[in-house]
Structure formats: structure tokens, C-alpha cells
A and B are shown apart, each in its own frame.
Chain A
Amino acid sequence: MTTRIRAALIVLGLLTLLALAAPLLTPWSHATLDWQNLAAPPQLAASHWFGTDRLGRDLFARGMQALRISLALGLLATLVSVCIGVAWGATAGYLGGRVDAAMMRFVDIVYALPYVFIVIILSTLFPRGSLAALFIAIGAVGWLTMARIVRGQTLVLRRREFIDAAVAGGVRTSGILWRHIVPNVMGTVIAYGTLTIPQVILFESFLSFLGLGVQEPFASLGSLINEGAQEMESSPWMLLVPAGLLMALLVAFNALGDALRARLGSAND
């Protein structure tokens, strides 16, 4: 298990480092056109290590810029949806009764709706290509699973003696939630949170693939894959580069999340 976690962390660390350091590593930016090298295969000569696209833009620079968006959005949207999910789930689970029924009924209804549609509808709300729109659209559906999991855990915790002790000691409900419930569900939250990151990244790429997400001149792994798929017969690297990056990212995050869930989950359940 630990080797798996370590391998995943190394891959993620390398990708993050590469994405952040990319502007220092390559003379090209995501938007500069190189008229001498249109749709050029990967080469050392003009420092197009991953080749260029049809407009002569460097795929390494574009790939890394897309990676930065994926990582930033993945982490931020996950953070937001974890916060909402934990607050919602812990409150519903702790208060119980009618409040719980109403809150979870809401989650159930939104859950029953196909989430791709919700994200597509929400993404139309904002000017095309605004990152805030993506962020809100993805965050709006990302918290549901977390709310359910946290509620389940809270229902169990609520009957424990230390909660009774806190109630008897006169701690207010908000204090109990914040000081006693939330720290105790943290292990599970971290494990599932890690699994939320690749989902968010996938969502963003999916929307961008469909043309609803990140817009030119910026690139997303999804939009790069879409462009690459159209040119794959003549220039397969345009497809293979972003597809490879996205695969590495998704596999690493999922492996990490699975391993964490196996370790942290068993300690808590």
C-alpha cells in the first residue's frame, strides 16, 4: 500500500513541479505562434519537445498551462465541495429528525438528476470560458457524495459518550459540530476528498472537450484532446500528449485516493 501511495505522490509531485516550472523551461508560451513549425512533430531543434499544433503553438507550453488549470481547479473546487459537503452532512446527521429528512431529501433529488446535465446547464449561465463558471458548476454537484458520507458517519458518532459529555458540559451545537464531529470524520473526508479531485479534473476536461469549458487562447487537457482527435491521422502527437497527461493525472489521483481510503477508512469505520 505504501509503495502505491509513494508512487502516486511522486507522479503528482513531478507533474505539479513541471506545470509550475514550465514557463522557465520553455521559451514558448501557450499562445505564441511559431510560423516555421506548423504541426511539427516532437523535436529538440526548436525546443518543441512535445511538437506543435496546427497553428504552430508549442504543445509542451500548452499542455503545462492546461495542467495548471486542471490542478488549480481540481484542488479549489474540491476544497469548496468538501466544505459544503461536510457542513451539510454533519449538520443533517447531528440534528436528525425533520431537518435531517429535509436536507437529505434535497440531496437525493439533486442526486437523481443526471449531473452532466446540471453542469451543462450551469455552465451556460456565465460568459463562455470564465473559470468562475466552471468552478461553480462543478462545485455545485461535487459536494453531494461527501454530504452523504459525512452524514452517515455523524449518525454513528452522535451516539458516542464523548458527545453526551460535551452536551452535558454545556457546549453549544455549533461547538460540538466543529470541535467534536468534524475532527472525527476528517480521515474519511480526506480519503474521499482525494477521490473528488480526479472527478473534478475529469469534469473540467469533459466540458472543455465539448467546447463548454476553457476557451481559446487558453488550453485545457479536454480541448487539446478534442483538437488532437481531429488531427490524429496526420499528427498523432497532438492527441497523445494531452491524452497521456490526463491519464497520468487521473490514474495517480485515483490510486492515491483508493490507497488512502483503504488505510484511513478502516481506522474510522
Chain B
Amino acid sequence: MLAYTLRRIVGLLPTLFVLITLSFFIIRLAPGGPFDQEQALAPEIRANLEAAYGLDQPLPVQYGRYLAGLAQGDLGPSLRFKDFRVTELIASGLPLSLTIGLAAAALAFLIGVPLGAWAAWRRDSAGARTLMNLSLLGVVLPGFVVGPLLALLFGVYWPIFRVGGYEPGEVSFLVLPVITLALPVTAYVARLTRDSMREVLQANYIRTARAKGLGSRVVLLRHALRPALVPVVSYLGPAVAFVITGSLVVEAVFGLPGSGRYLVQGAIDRDYTLVMGMILVYGAFTLLCNLLADLVYGWLDPRVRVA
């Protein structure tokens, strides 16, 4: 298992390498540069700046230098935030982004799985049907629509939570962002659980368990839940990826100082190293989550375990 895990981690490297290479060259192809301003810089200053950051070198040389820096864990200097390394910038925002993202993912699975199981158990009740119709709405609506609406509802008209002007350490600011982020994932998890639970409940061993006189609660919790969770767990990877990319939007909506804004701002400013750093960190995180989901999947369902 350990060897397999290690092999899978090494297997991520080519994908990551493709991601780095693609984004490195594509973003250099983009028109404009990091030193474009309202007032054009004097050519000499510009040339000096470019030389200082090594941007005057041919592209392959820059690429090689970037990779060499990367191998030492250095993401380079930010071209727009003077005197900041990209690593510092990302490290300053990442804890908040991760807190929101992971809280949302945890919330989504903790609420979504019981809801889905309940909907499968009480499949014909009006409550279960309403729930599933609502969940369709939850899956469809994007965070940048739900977020502002929630903020309007619970931050302005009915001010339970605080929005805008984030103060570090105040949990009240984080409730709505986490809910916004968790909502579509919760809805999707509930639907997945419901569907797979329905299928499992028709299996022969469930009938056997019922026939030997077990109560439906025991059957549901002890016999049906674990196999029903297999497809749900395989969604864990994509879910975390979704939550991470979603945090971009949520941070913009609620004005939170996470690291998501660096990706967008970096792309607009042509801050090459900053964009690259963000893509690398978020990309690696996404890939790791997918891998983790695969591994848990094998633990839940012995049939897919690889020797």
C-alpha cells in the first residue's frame, strides 16, 4: 500500500509538469507585460526593470531558471507587489482560504450524507421529494449568485452575520462564505448518497439482513451505509477541487483576504510569477485531493484495491 501510494504521488509529477509548462508559456504569450502602467515608463527604466527580473532573457532561459528556482522551493519574486516573494504572498492568504474551503467541504459531507441517506430511506415521502428538488437548485446555482443573495438576506435585511470589512479572528464573517461554498457540494453529495443508497438497499444481503429480523435503522447504518458511500467518497477529490476554485469567488464576494485574489489580480496585471505560483499551489492541491480520494476509495471497496 505504501509503495503504491508513493508510486501514485510520483505519477502526479508529469501532470504537474505539464501544468507548469503550459501555463508558463501561455501567460508569456499574453499581450502586455507586468510593467505596463497608465504612464508609460521610460525605456531605460523599463529595460533595467526587465533585466533585474531576468525578463530580458530568451524564454527558454527564463523557463530553465524558473524550474531551477522551483526545485529549491522558490516561486520567484512578485513582479507587481514590490519586495514580496510569491511564496510570502501566497502563504499570507492561504490559511484563510484553506480554512474556508476545508470547513465547507467538511460541512457538505457531514450534512449531505445524512440527508441523502434519509431521502433514500423515506423515498416516497413528500419531505424527501422536496429535498431532492431543492438539491437540484443547489447544484445548479453558482456561488457568485448565491453569495451576494445570502449576504443581502442575512447580512443586510436580517443582519445575523457580519459581511464586509473582515476582521481577523471574527468567526461571524466566515459563516456565510462557508455556507455559500458548501451549498452546491452538499446538494450534490446528498443526491449521490441518495442514488447509491437506493441501489444498495435493493441488494440481496440487505434483504437477508431484513429477513433475519434486523430493524431498518440497523440495516441502514450497519449494512447499507458503507457500500453506499463508495461513489460519494470518489466525489471527495473533485469536491475539494471545486471548493478550492470556488473560494476564488467567495473571497471576491465577501471581501476576504484569502489567496484567491492573487490568481485573478495576477492574471490581470500580468504578474507572471504570481499567477504561476498560484496555479502551481492550487493545482498541486487539487491533484493531491484526487489522489487521496482514490486511496480512500480502495479502502472502502476492496475490489478496486491494487496489489
Interface positions of A (Cβ within 8 A of B): 109, 112-114, 116-118, 120-128, 198, 202, 205-206, 209-212, 222, 225-226, 228-229, 232-233, 236, 239, 243, 246-247, 250-251, 254-255, 258
Contacts and interface: CB of A to CB of B under 8 A. Distances in A.
A185 B205 CA distance: 37
Interface stretch (B37-45, B74-82, B88-96, B142-150): B142-150
Interface stretch (B49-57, B104-112, B246-254): B246-254
B98 interface: no
B140 A117 contact: no
Contacts of B152: 232-233, 236, 239
Contacts of B139: 254
B286 A114 contact: yes
B267 A124 contact: yes
B106 to A, nearest CB: 20
A109 B245 CA distance: 18
Interface string B110-150: 00000000000000000000000000110111101101110
B221 interface: no
Given A112-B15, A225-B145, A229-B253, A123 B140 contact: no
Contact of B144 (A124, A225, A232, A236): A225
Q: Residue among B137, B244, B267, B270 with the most chain A CB within 10 A?
A: B267
Interface of B: 14-15, 18-19, 22-23, 26-27, 29-31, 136-137, 139-142, 144-145, 147-149, 151-152, 156, 241, 244-245, 248-249, 252-253, 263-264, 267-268, 270, 275, 279, 282-283, 286-287, 290
13 contacts: A113-B18, A113-B22, A116-B245, A123-B267, A124-B26, A124-B268, A125-B26, A210-B249, A225-B144, A226-B252, A229-B147, A232-B156, A250-B140
B26 A243 contact: no
Contacts of B287: 112
B142 A109 contact: no
B264 A243 contact: no
B102 to A, nearest CB: 17
Nearest to A113: B19
A255 B139 CA distance: 12
A208 to B, nearest CB: 10
Contacts of A128: 268
A11 B193 CA distance: 31
